[in-house]
Amino acid sequence: MIFCSYPEEISWKDHEYENEMLKIICSAIAAYALLLSVSHAQNSQAQKGMNIMQQMDKDANGSISHAEFIDFGLLYFNKADQNKDQQMNKLEYALMLEMLGSVFPSEVFIKRFNILDMNRDSVISLAEFSEMSERKFRKGDLNGDGQINQNDVQ
Ligand SMILES: [Ca+2]
Ligand SMILES: [Ca+2]
Ligand SMILES: [Ca+2]
């Protein structure tokens, strides 16, 4: 599974940045495959991934399109953006992670926030968030066909 492992040359920072979402997506793909063949999830991590996968896959065709992936991110951005200023402060970002079932130790949380907050103004703008979503999609869509699915797991 190329997509689910890291090349040696990847830096620790990149590794840490992508780690949690990749883990979720990888376990989601694995769980989804399992769901289709065996029809039950093995553990809570897989279950969590599968829930997210099913939420993303709006048309339930077993494949996450670019639009489905981006919409999913925006949905959670908007849910977390309590005061509707199109930005996420630390509290709102923490809320988003919590909704996604991802809770981190505070030093990891701050690091992740700072990576997303590229211009260092202490909020994650919609533009900063969208750029990250695009990068994550490109990274997940290994074969570049505009869909994240089994074909991207080898
Ligand atoms: Ca789909
Ligand atoms: Ca910012
Ligand atoms: Ca693909």
Give pLDDT tens digits along the chain (154 positions).
Answer: 444 554 444 455 555 656 666 666 766 776 666 555 544 445 677 777 788 889 999 999 999 999 999 999 999 999 999 999 999 999 999 999 999 988 889 999 999 999 999 999 999 999 999 999 999 999 999 999 999 999 998 6
Distance in Å, CA 151 to ligand 3 centroid: 6
CATH superfamily of 12-148: EF-hand (1.10.238.10)
68 in Cβ contact with 132 (< 8 Å): no
CA of 119 to the centre of ligand 3 (A): 31
CA atoms within 13 A on the CB side of 16: 14
Q: Please answer whether residues 80 and 88 qualify as being in contact, where contact means their C-beta atoms are separated by less than 8 angstroms.
A: yes
User: The whole model's pTM is what?
Assistant: 0.70
Q: Which listed ligand is nearest to 129 at the C-alpha?
A: 2
Residue 114 DSSP SS3 = helix
What are the helix (H) ranges across the chain? 12-37, 44-56, 66-80, 90-99, 106-116, 126-140
Task: List the end-to-end C-alpha distance of the chain, in Å, as a whole number.
Answer: 4
For residue range 62-89, what is the model confidence (pLDDT) as tens digits?
A: 999 999 999 999 999 999 999 999 999 9
Report the separation in Å between the CA atom of 125 and the middle of ligand 1, taken as the mean of its atom positions: 27
* Ligand in closest contact with the CA of 124: 2
How many angstroms separate the alpha carbon of residue 14 from the centre of ligand 2?
19
**What pLDDT does residue 10 have?**
47
Give the pLDDT score at 51: 85
Residue type, 116: L
**Residue 53 Cα to ligand 3 middle (Å):** 15
- The domains of the chain are located at 12-148
Residue 6: what pLDDT? 47
Report the b/e string of 36-56 with b at 16+ CB within 10 A: eeeeebeeebbbbbbbbbeeb
CA of 37 to the centre of ligand 3 (A): 20
Cα(133) to centroid(ligand 3), Å: 15
In this structure, which ligand is nearest to the CA of 71? 1
